Amino acid sequence: MSLFASALSFMRGSAATIAELAAPKQCLMCGTSLAERTHRISTACNACMAALPPPPSPDEIFVRLAKNFARDELAVSRCFSLTVYDETLPFSRMIRSLKYEQIASIGLEFGRETGETMRHLGIMEAEAIVPVPIHHARRRERTYNQSELIGRGIAEKTGVPFLMHALMRRRYTTTQTRLNAEQRHSNLSGAFTAGRDSNLVHDKVVLLTDDVLTTGSTINACATALLSAGARRVDVAVIAAAN
Ligand SMILES: [Zn+2]
């Protein structure tokens, strides 16, 4: 197949892969040229990837998350992250590009990186992967759901089935950034519900995927809906978790 033909068949896949073709020429974290890039991440230089801070441990993430919820409200069992999230760290620029600049390769590649790490550590126990859904109107606006790209990357590296439609987002919720933890909980209550594939999570350990974990209200609202749909347990994987 010619390069053009393979690019075309590649592009036909989805809107996300079109954005993937437009790989940046500079590292999104430090701005150096990516001409010499050898790392499997196409949006960052080797030095920035090598300097990526280690994530808080699953136990640390869980303890921090548990503080935001009453004991019987917490629907998540374990959390894994690839790196740490902090607005002052260069990686936060990567997250911004993923959310607002439509560079889909960030989601897929860091998802693969997360899946590879989980596989390597032997901590993948899930039998199904489910992304945090976005409302269809927002998906149209953004062209992709970053949580879906991350989930697909993890599925690719671990062989765990990916379920696109296990959950549905009912409401177009207002942005969470300016709300405190309590306001976030009520903003999200009832926002997620079982989707048309929800029967496939019945009695399964599910891995819920998202880009960033901060207060955990989105994740927990989704995990609650998955447990209501019959999931046995809900674990979480993100590419960056706040310390
Ligand atoms: Zn760099």
Residue 93 CA, ligand 1 centroid: distance in Å: 11
3-state secondary structure (DSSP) of residue 32: coil
CA-CA distance, 146 to 157, in Å (whole number)? Answer: 17
Distance from Cα 36 to the centre of ligand 1, integer Å = 11
pLDDT at 3: 46
Instruction: Report the relative pairing of strands 128-131 and 205-213 from DSSP bridges.
Output: parallel
Domain ranges of the chain: 52-242
Task: State if pTM tops 0.95.
Answer: no
Strand partners, 26: 33
- Ligand 1 centre from 127 Cα, in Å? 35
Q: Which residues surround ligand 1, an ion (CB under 5 A)?
A: 27, 29-30, 45, 48
Q: Using CB atoms within 10 A of its CB, is residue 24 exposed (0-12), middle (13-18) or buried (19+)?
A: middle
CA of residue 44 to ligand 1 center, whole Å: 5
The structural architecture, per CATH, of the domain 52-242 is: 3-Layer(aba) Sandwich (3.40)
Distances (CA, A) of 218 to 63, 192, 214, 223: 17, 9, 9, 9
Centroid of ligand 1 to alpha carbon of 95 (angstroms)? 14
Q: Over 60: is that where the pLDDT of 1 sits?
A: no
Look at residue 176 in the predicted model and tell me its pLDDT: 62
For the stretch 151-202, pLDDT in tens is 999 999 999 999 999 999 987 666 666 667 667 666 777 789 999 999 999 9
Q: How remote is the CA of residue 94 from the centroid of ligand 1, in Å?
A: 10
